Amino acid sequence: MAKYNIGGYIFDDENKAKKAAKELKAVEYILGQIKDSDENAVLTVYKKLLNQRMFSTEIGMSFLAQLRQNLLDSEVFTPEDIPPVYSLEEPPKDVTPEEKTEDTNSSSDEKVSKAKKEKADKKVVAKVTNDSLEIKRLKAINKVLLIFCIALLLCVLGMFYVSTTINSPTILDYEEKLIDKYSSWEQDLTEREEAIREKEQEQQ
């Protein structure tokens, strides 16, 4: 007769061996889910496993027994707080209204928490998007201002050259106006660059 070694347990029956293999995968999954959980969360999972009676081979039953022992060793709960592992000979028990309420409340809390997290994430994404658009807009305005500043600077330099060769009051007056305009735009450009830097620092 063929023998099947599943998780260190020997099974003679192929169907039971397949069931044990499934339970082994379930145990590995549960361990991965509760590895960073506190004792209260582990106790909740333990009670759900008992209510669902999802284990029926040596692998699953030994896992439940070990889980209960770990909860006892934590000294967070009394033995009365931790239900004993069910016997396979016992008929399944109906879930009590209290346990149903506990499961429902737990599920509702998880949904509310998830909804709040998603809402907060959307707000963050929207804020980052708005800030990015604002920075792009300011940079575009700065480019235009920079071009005008350069053009004005060239005009001022040209007027300086003309004023040195032609001593005309009209030209000198126009030169002063150009210098004032250039100074105003240069100051505006500096202020906008400072605004961009502040926006970029807020995003970091």
Residue spans per domain, the chain: 4-93, 120-203
| pLDDT at residue 26 tops 60 | yes
What pLDDT, on a 0 to 100 scale, did the predictor assign at position 148? Answer: 66
| pLDDT at residue 125 tops 80 | no
Helix axes 39-52, 14-34, angle to 10 degrees: 150
Q: Which tokens belong to 170?
A: 């009209």
Region at 32 (left for phi over 0; alpha for psi -120 to 50; beta for the rest): alpha
Alpha helices (H) along the chain? 14-34, 39-52, 58-73, 97-165, 169-203
| pLDDT at residue 166 tops 90 | no
Q: Are 188 and 142 in contact (CB under 8 A)?
A: no
pTM over 0.75: no
If pLDDT is split at 50, 70 and 90, which confidence band does 92 have?
Answer: low
Residue 157 CA to residue 180 CA, distance in Å, equals 13
Residue 186 CA to residue 204 CA, distance in Å, equals 28
Query: Is the model more confident about 124 or about 114?
Result: 114
